[in-house]
Structure 1
Amino acid sequence: MKFCSILTSATIMLVVFNLTASAQKLSVTDLQVEHQVNPLSVEPAIPRMSWKLASTAKNILQKSYEIRVGTDAKATSSGKNLLWNSTKTSDQSVLVEYDGTALKPGQRYYWQVRVTDNQRNTSPWSAVQFWQMGLKASDWKAKWISVPEKDTALASPMFRKTVNLSKTVKLATAYITARGLYEAYINGKKVGDAYFTPGWTSYKDHLQYQAYDVTALLKKGTNALSAILADGWYKGRVAFADRSSFYGDTRALLMQVQVQYTDGSSETLISDDSWKTAYGALLKSSHYDGEIYDARKERAGWTQTTYNEGSDWRAVRIMDYGYGNLVGMSGPEVRKHEKIVAVKIIKTPKGEIVADFGQNLVGWVELKTKGPANTRITLSHAEVLDKAGNFYTENLRSAKQQNTYYLKGDQEQVFSPHFSFQGFRYVKIEGYPQELKPEDLTAVVLHSEMTPTGTFKTSNTLLNQLQHNITWGQKGNFVDVPTDCPQRDERLGWTGDAQAFYYTAAYNMDVSGFFTKWLKDVKADQHKDGSIPFVVPDVLNPGDAGAAGWGDVATIIPWGMYDTYGDKRILETQYESMKAWVDFISSRSRKNLWNTGSHFGDWLFYRPDDDNDGRAAVTDKYMIAQCFYAHSTQLLINAAEVLGKKDDQAKYSSLLNDIKKAYVNEYLTPSGRLVSSTQTAYVLALQFDMLPENLRAQAAERLVANIRDYGTHLTTGFLGTPYLCHVLTKFGHNKVAYDLLMQESYPSWLYPVKMGATTIWERWDGIKPDGSFQVPSMNSYNHYAYGAIGDWMYKNIAGIQAGAPGYKKIVIKPIIGGKLTWAEGSYDSDYGTISSKWRIEDNKLKLDVTIPPNTTAQIWVPDAQGKSYKSFNVGAGEHYFER
């Protein structure tokens, strides 16, 4: 069906082409449970199911659904022996709660769904999918095993055991975790395709285990189970001051394999005192410093059944760690993604041999080589070359970011790290025994498995490169936790960065599982007084908590998750944490003013080197704190309303009124001027509705005057930047917003792009116009916070906005400007793909929009000059507008 709306100044003509009924096909696709496809360790006792509708017809809405659940795939698809069969008149297709008999730990459940739409079409049954419930503490039979002596070695311990299976395997699930990091193998093959498992969590509160379907790896007869461990975040170096063993000083493995046989019987294989351990070729592994691997010490075939252990394999030690803090995975695992071959090999003025991969990325390098025994090859990693073109690592601080390999000399080998990752564009190679060619080096990109959901392109190539940089910054810093940077001796889950970037992140990729997992850590590491640490997981000092704009992650991201995914349960789960954070602020406030404590303020705002004219954009930190106090209180009120907590809604609404009154009394002059007359001060005041309505328009004019006074440059830092263009748009200053976005000189979003950036920088001038660097102690070239402008670009250039939580209702409202002649964007919501494409041809605005089934949309169609809009309410389908 094609739907054309041709707009002129005189008439609006609608042309509708109907498809025949026989062509209108309805189906159900993309089944998920708890934001995951076929998950193997579901934690909630009541899982939630989601699906999408696909149809060739227009205006399709779901009228009812039927779900059936069973314990056998074939029986379920035949509608037999069902545990639950529910038919319900409802348009809900996202996060539908299971409502059958109680589910058993470790049990696999199969399900499918069919729907009926508002045109009386009924879909076929979907393909059968499954989920598997996670284990409870009482389900664990395996023992924690470690090396027999005190665990002081830098080398990685290896563990193995052979077991005999006398029957044919029908289904097998391996449950594995470690104190430290692990890689596990069955019969010589790696278990799963994840890296850095079990991931980084607030280990003192909860430790994840992974569940793997290993049916295809096991066989009747002899099988070899094995694993290797490394320090990781648990025992290795984290944070500052060379801190190590923050969570514990002993690496340990826990492995349990549940085997079901074709004859109906079952068996459990476990790690216990019958396992053996030894050290091998991996001599050292560190996130910050890299790895040392000595191929001369390899124990060939140690993961195979035919391996002869010998006398130097020793008995393991059983550790009494228990199982009480073990939890299944709620977020995505880290996996390999793109592979990038070196663009070129260069020789620097200092004579260094350096490979350029053309892209600042996070992962590691696969090195292909062959050479004499005892040859030592060292790979060092860096983000940039200095002004002279030499290899530059000073901004890494104490992190070595270096992998060293010793060759055994008898064959060609491919080396790469096991438990370390680097942030780099350039790699310096020392000791390579032959002429180095680009094809000898391949960069492997690693990040958490997040399905890309957004696309964004325009007629401006610099803007497209900015979007590229934003996306690659997200990839590089979403490695199990949302880190600030991926290269230097930090790589921590800074809360301020995460909250600033949330909405952009959610456009670019599906972060539902990623932030569900991380918010558990936010809640777990929240202090007893309600304050939120600066970083999560919290590995800093006990007093490092409670900063405005950082601690507000406790309210901003839970509400963002509800806004983006319609996830009410995340509000239920995090509500007490949200409330505790607001109550903490109240406890530190005096007469409703949050004017106590230590704050970062508008971090890395514009601060010229020689400030004789007072041009530095310093915003009063307590003034900022008051704005975020109001914002978090408002989000808590919103959550209370959604959850039906009327008493809290009333209580905090009254508090919010007092907070805003206190702000006006303290920080606003009678004429409407703020005591800190900076861009960030006006942006936050306007974004969070801190000013009386009659003073807001003039405050926006003051903001515009400030921007123009700086030559149409931004001066904001981490807290003001995410909202800057949003506020300008909100108050009708679209041209100013576009002028800021398109500014190419420092400070601006496009200045780093013009300087060759391929990711977002930590500082607006990480590389100065003369080619020199900002202070090396804090100058990351992969630091995503300023990429928060992506949210404005999706919402206002492409025009894609959520009209209701989870995009059940959609708003399309593109803003024309910036000399753009076309722009297009898409977002793959939980209902399907939303797309918006506009172009200006022959002085006309042409807009193509796609709305997914089971949603409705309001389309605001601008004229070619962007001066006026006309509005249409539409249903699912493809729509074309011309004006």
Structure 2
Amino acid sequence: MAIRAPGWHAAELGTAGYEIEVDRPAASAAEERGRGRYRVPGSASVLVPWPSTPLRSREQARVRVRAFSNMKLEPTGWSPWTLVECALLERGDWSARPITSARPLDSDVAGPLRPIRFRRTFTVSPDVAVAARSRLYITSLGVYKAFVNGRPVGDHCMAPGWTSYHHRLNYQVFDIAPLLNPSGDNVIAVEVGEGWYATRLGFSGGRRHIYGNELGLLVQLEIGGPDTERLVLVSDKSWSCNASAITRSEIYDGEVYDAREECPGWKEAPEQNHQTWHAVRELPMPQAELVAPDAPPVRVTEVIKPVALIITPTGKTVIDFGQNLVGRLLVRSLHKPRGHEVTFTHAEVLENGELGIRPLRHARCADTIVSSGEPLQNWSPQFTFHGFRYVQVDGWSPEDSDGPLLLDTSLCALVLQTDLVRTGYFSCSHAKVNQLHENAWRSMRGNFLSIPTDCPQRDERLGWTGDLQVFAPSANFLYNTAGMLSDWLKDLAVEQLKDVADGVPPFAVPNVLHGIFPVVPQAVWDDATILIPWALYRSYGDVGILRQQYPSMVAWLDRGVRRGPDRLWDSQLWQLGDWLDPTAPPDQPGASRTSGSLVADMYLVHVTSVLAKISDIVGEVKDARRYAADSQQLMSTFRAKYIAPSGLLVGDTQTALSLALVFDLHETREQASRAAERLAELVQFARFRVSTGFAGTPVITHALTKSGYHQMAYRMLLEKNRPSWMYPISMGATTVWERWDSMLPDGSINPGEMTSFNHYALGSVINWLHECVAGVSPLEPGWKTFRAAPIPGGTIDHAEASYETPYGRVECHWSIRDGDHFELSLLVPANSRALVIMPHERTQDPDVSGKWVGSGRHRFQSRWDHLAQWSPKPLGLQKHLEEASNSWEGYF
């Protein structure tokens, strides 16, 4: 976008434009304050380029904007000033050095590292203007919690978060002026635990110290403005340290806090007993790039009260929090004799009335308090988290005379997540469908903790690419994921391009499975390199994400895919394919009824066409032509290899047919129609029970709806027998399960080793709830234009969705009254347009043009019978047996 000269007259803006004013204070006393005004034509109002010269490290600027209306040339009033500030951009901006303990702190070299406490006293001179600028730049080798004069710095948890530490290390910036004594003694104190940096990670026992075997702290405190005396305090040999009263803190196994070893006043007392505090040792600066993250921090976002206190058949005390959640306990008050231990063991489910810990595998998931004999108030583990609904409490019972365990006052749960902004909501007239949507939301919330993980409870919790790839469109609707996923994709790219040969990304990012789990090219999972940035671009319209990830995309498609002679996938390579197909045995989750090679080839055709579009968008014209031609050639090869002239596929499964329909792999509409007819037949033969895994589940309801079988999709959605989306809800699920039957009807846990009760991948059906039931989906990237085209069906007689687009709030609500009176209410945000397609138009003509409407509220009415063709009937032997049974009813 061109920026006109500041002297350009407002009248030249024509019908639309905006004006940005940037006020940049002087960087030093010798410089003059600068203010620039920039006028820009056009209606673009999202992700517009910064008009001034780039900010320098630490530089601040104030920004405000006003717009010129389409209807008149007079501008709006100015917006309030917004302050922006730059972090430390160059490695040379850091004068601090990482520090660690100069001597061992009772840690087993081969085991977990004991957390360390660091502290430093300092005095602020009256000449230092604390209010002008007081910034703490901080990170750690491990995870940290910082205090100034005994008060917490920020509300972050598990900071600095998990990144590919060998390549990228996050740091945080805090304004600590309110915490300082402006003229006098101050104490900065920081506690560091091993976090993801040094803890045991991975399954089958995992590995420790993947990134390092020493905990460290990097601090740079800068107080004072550019034209005042400044105080700069850095981590160096002048600091002191001590072993924490937290004797062990691990991600999988939990935390042990020994209150007998507590050092009162260590966070705030200016003087400490130097006999108990020890020297520190400086470490080399990390080779990793120090970055201020785009992602929000992990925070406590909700407090959950327990709902029941259970005494199990074996006499154990268990607290039920009523929902599966991710976070920590908060012990409000505990008073036990010195040396007494209280242990809290976390799990997601009960089995036979007892805590179901088998699915945790090698994770202990237990926190322990060792009492000092003094009252303990508001204690919570600091450097771990758990996935749980139930907590078994050992060493503290409701009958204790020295302070009983009470349901209402003793404990609560703190929910942890990356504190993303919630953007999307859905509800309808069917309570269990609403529960399904809430379960998917809760699973996303629990698994978006620093990185997008597969599960939050067992000895895994890794950033699997395939899980996120299938769920990304749903995730982008529920929350604003742009910053978090953009950061995670940077880790994917750096590990793909620097750590792995041949452009193949790791299965999990950050890649803690290096050297354990072979890096074998895989469709669906590795296609995340292309499809996740594409999903982000469609949601937010940020071309920068496509440019950022472009080398990663090209490396995957040009070098990573292992091709056969026909340039489709090498058919000799085993593929994960339709992972966790419900017919797969518990011990063979990859034994899908759909050929993995077929799934891989479908994805290859699709991602090649997507990369052709991306190449064109980012201006890589030669690549765009190359990938477009390649896509057409691969399409022709695929059709000749897999699709019969009738349109049926060699792989006659729901997953294969659904992918072919959604990816538009058929040559003619007649072929697609026959494939859709066959898909509907298979759904009926399956009695509407789910027959798909990771690859097929996100698309089957879309394929049915797109092909005119929306009632089949609704019938699948509402099926109660397993495997189905409703079955877990009938079993009391409050999150999405990893397996369709993670819990069996008799209340026992599925015997498979991979049995998580909090796994968002199979909840990807909620994207269909958003786009087809509620009816809203983007047409242009970033929702500049969007579609409102609900298709009511089943027994659902009203539904609504709202979404905070980059342009403002979209609201779409429909209801059916008096059998067939359909009403649609729509809110279109400013600077946007919507294409409205009524249900009867969409089903009668798939090429219907619809009606465009602009910003504002709109209402539409038509006739639509949502119960027409309801309820579809099953096919096969079961149907005939049921009919025969009904015909003999009354004779016996």
Q: Secondary structure at the match of 1:656?
A: helix
Q: Secondary structure at the match of 2:810?
A: strand
Q: Secondary structure at the match of 2:753?
A: helix
1:435 positional shift: 2.4
CA distance in 1, matches of 2:619, 2:114: 55
1:263 positional shift: 6.1
Q: Deviations over 1:359-382 (max 9, x none)?
A: 100001101222222221100001
Distance 1:314 1:796, change over 3 A: same
CA distance in 2, matches of 1:753, 1:126: 47
Of 50, 62, 65 in structure 2, the residue corresponding to residue 110 of structure 1 is: 62
CA distance in 1, matches of 2:765, 2:626: 34
Q: Does 1:871 align with 2:850?
A: yes
Native 8 Å contact 1:95 1:567 kept in 2: yes
CA distance in 2, matches of 1:312, 1:62: 72
Q: Deviations over 1:710-748 (max 9, x none)?
A: 111220001111111111111111111111111111111
Identical pairs, percent: 37
Q: Deviations over 1:416-443 (max 9, x none)?
A: 1101000000000011153221121101
The 5-angstrom pairing of residues 75-224 of structure 1 reads 81-120=33-72, 122-135=75-88, 136-149=90-103, 152=107, 154-167=113-126, 168-169=129-130, 170-220=132-182, 221-224=184-187
1:608 positional shift: 6.7
CA distance in 1, matches of 2:577, 2:114: 43
Structure 1 stretch displaced more, 582-591 or 791-800: 582-591
CA distance in 2, matches of 1:225, 1:65: 45
Distance 1:609 1:600, change over 3 A: closer
Of 247, 256, 260 in structure 1, the residue corresponding to residue 220 of structure 2 is: 256
Q: Deviations over 1:395-451 (max 9, x none)?
A: 000100000001222224222110100000000001115322112110110000111
CA distance in 1, matches of 2:361, 2:267: 38
CA distance in 2, matches of 1:497, 1:580: 21
Distance 1:483 1:308, change over 3 A: same
1:668 positional shift: 2.8
1:226 positional shift: 1.2
CA distance in 1, matches of 2:307, 2:118: 39
Q: Secondary structure at the match of 1:721?
A: coil
Distance 1:399 1:720, change over 3 A: same
Native 8 Å contact 2:166 2:288 kept in 1: no
Of 393, 407, 412 in structure 2, the residue corresponding to residue 429 of structure 1 is: 393
The 5-angstrom pairing of residues 638-677 of structure 1 reads 638-677=613-652
Q: Does 1:294 align with 2:258?
A: yes
What does residue 236 of structure 1 align with? 199
Of 275, 278, 284 in structure 1, the residue corresponding to residue 248 of structure 2 is: 284
Structure 1 stretch displaced more, 699-708 or 768-777: 768-777
CA distance in 2, matches of 1:590, 1:215: 65
Q: Secondary structure at the match of 2:850?
A: strand
Q: Does 1:379 align with 2:344?
A: yes
Native 8 Å contact 2:578 2:592 kept in 1: no
Native 8 Å contact 2:814 2:825 kept in 1: yes
Q: Does 1:488 align with 2:458?
A: yes
Of 644, 656, 659 in structure 2, the residue corresponding to residue 681 of structure 1 is: 656
Structure 1 stretch displaced more, 433-442 or 413-422: 433-442
1:667 positional shift: 2.4
Of 540, 544, 548 in structure 2, the residue corresponding to residue 569 of structure 1 is: 544
Q: Secondary structure at the match of 2:147?
A: strand
1:638 positional shift: 1.0
What does residue 469 of structure 1 align with? 439
What does residue 17 of structure 1 align with? none
1:279 positional shift: 0.8
1:109 positional shift: 2.0
Of 795, 808, 818 in structure 1, the residue corresponding to residue 771 of structure 2 is: 795
CA distance in 1, matches of 2:226, 2:549: 43
Distance 1:862 1:731, change over 3 A: closer
Q: Deviations over 1:111-145 (max 9, x none)?
A: 11111221226332222222222211000011110
**Larger strand proportion, structure 1 or 2?**
1
Native 8 Å contact 2:504 2:519 kept in 1: no
The amino acid of 1:69's aligned partner reads: V
Structure 1 stretch displaced more, 370-379 or 714-723: 370-379
1:307 positional shift: 4.0
Of 223, 232, 239 in structure 2, the residue corresponding to residue 268 of structure 1 is: 232
What does residue 314 of structure 1 align with? 278
What does residue 9 of structure 2 align with? none
1:541 positional shift: 3.1
Native 8 Å contact 1:379 1:430 kept in 2: yes
The amino acid of 2:454's aligned partner reads: D
1:809 positional shift: 0.7
Distance 1:617 1:327, change over 3 A: closer
Distance 1:263 1:101, change over 3 A: closer
CA distance in 2, matches of 1:808, 1:489: 42
What does residue 831 of structure 2 align with? 854
Structure 1 stretch displaced more, 855-864 or 674-683: 855-864
CA distance in 2, matches of 1:679, 1:302: 62
The amino acid of 1:861's aligned partner reads: M
What does residue 438 of structure 1 align with? 407
CA distance in 2, matches of 1:339, 1:127: 34
Structure 1 stretch displaced more, 859-868 or 417-426: 859-868
Native 8 Å contact 2:167 2:287 kept in 1: no
Q: Deviations over 1:338-376 (max 9, x none)?
A: 101100111111111000000100001101222222221
The amino acid of 2:411's aligned partner reads: L
1:149 positional shift: 2.7
Structure 1 stretch displaced more, 644-653 or 592-601: 592-601
CA distance in 2, matches of 1:881, 1:262: 60
Q: Deviations over 1:560-597 (max 9, x none)?
A: 11100000010011011111111135553332120243
What does residue 482 of structure 2 align with? 512
Q: Secondary structure at the match of 1:588?
A: coil
Native 8 Å contact 2:166 2:287 kept in 1: no
Q: Deviations over 1:9-51 (max 9, x none)?
A: xxxxxxxxxxxxxxxxxxxxxxxxxxxxxxxxxxxxx9x9xxx
The amino acid of 1:686's aligned partner reads: L
What does residue 52 of structure 1 align with? none
1:610 positional shift: 12
Structure 2 residue runs of 5 or longer lacking an equivalent are 4-13, 27-31, 863-892
Distance 1:103 1:538, change over 3 A: same
Structure 1 stretch displaced more, 529-538 or 410-419: 410-419
TM-score (normalised: structure 1): 0.89
Native 8 Å contact 2:648 2:674 kept in 1: no
CA distance in 2, matches of 1:687, 1:866: 17
The amino acid of 1:541's aligned partner reads: H
Distance 1:90 1:457, change over 3 A: same
Distance 1:637 1:268, change over 3 A: same
Distance 1:687 1:882, change over 3 A: closer
RMSD of Structure 2 on Structure 1 (CA): 2.2
Distance 1:360 1:213, change over 3 A: same
Native 8 Å contact 1:862 1:870 kept in 2: no
What does residue 523 of structure 2 align with? 548
CA distance in 1, matches of 2:227, 2:656: 71
Matched length: 814
The amino acid of 1:184's aligned partner reads: A
What does residue 335 of structure 2 align with? 370
Native 8 Å contact 1:177 1:210 kept in 2: yes
TM-score (normalised: structure 2): 0.88
Q: Deviations over 1:759-801 (max 9, x none)?
A: 0000001111222221251100000001111111011111111
CA distance in 2, matches of 1:408, 1:181: 26
Distance 1:458 1:867, change over 3 A: farther
Q: Does 1:637 align with 2:612?
A: yes
Native 8 Å contact 1:714 1:747 kept in 2: yes
